[in-house]
Amino acid sequence: MTELNHALFLRLAAEVQGFCRDLHDEAVEAVCIPAQVPSADLREAFRSELLSNRKLDAGNAGPGNIGADWAKFGQPIWPDLELAYPGTKGKADWNARLTWLNDARNGIAHNDPVKIAAAHAIHPLTLNTFKVMRGRFSKFAVALERTTSAYLSRATGIAPW
């Protein structure tokens, strides 16, 4: 049962990272359209710059990597999320859970019993914890998408999607 639970957390970490990377891709495409940047060459240069050294391509979907990638749009994503979703279930909660999930993922993926035990001490690596975390990250995904969409709408004057 332990191995199955560990597999669930690996998959959850992959899903969170994949979602963040896909949303970032969508945001890049939303600002690299002819209505925003008429020149095809300039659009390609802009797209290339927004994707260059993207943290989500090489690292986990931790708070720092997400923040760095969204900063390329000029969006301070964590302060924006805190403004849009204030309170204990906002930025601080998501940051702590992202950090925990990636610590758990790294411990499991690299078969590091010390890291696994440390993650387990914070939140047990059980099916119940997985279900709670999946729910929290589903809410995070909605908040990230809405906050990104609102920012890009304000920044460009065009709804991105």
Long-range contacts formed by 60-63: CB under 8 A, 24+ apart: 60/13, 60/17, 60/102, 60/105, 60/106, 61/13, 61/16, 61/17, 61/19, 61/20, 61/21, 61/98, 61/102, 62/98, 62/99, 62/102, 63/94, 63/95, 63/98, 63/99
| pLDDT value of position 92 | 78
The residue extents of the domains of the chain are: 2-156
Q: pLDDT tens for residues 144-159? A: 999 999 999 999 999 9
* Residue 88 confidence (pLDDT) above 60: no
| pLDDT value of position 89 | 63
Diameter of the chain by CA atoms? Answer: 56
Q: pLDDT tens for residues 92-109? A: 789 999 999 999 999 999
Asked if 76 contacts 61 with a C-beta cutoff of 8 angstroms, the reply is no
* Residue 78 confidence (pLDDT) above 60: yes
- State how far the Cα of 144 lies from the Cα of 69, in Å rounded to an integer: 13
* Residue 110 confidence (pLDDT) above 80: yes
CA 33 → CA 10, 144, 148, distances in Å? 35, 22, 17
Rounded average pLDDT over 61-89: 91
Q: pLDDT tens for residues 29-48? A: 999 999 889 999 999 999 99
pTM value is 0.93
Percent share of the chain, pLDDT over 70 = 97
Rounded average pLDDT over 63-67: 97
Task: Output the average pLDDT for the chain.
Answer: 94
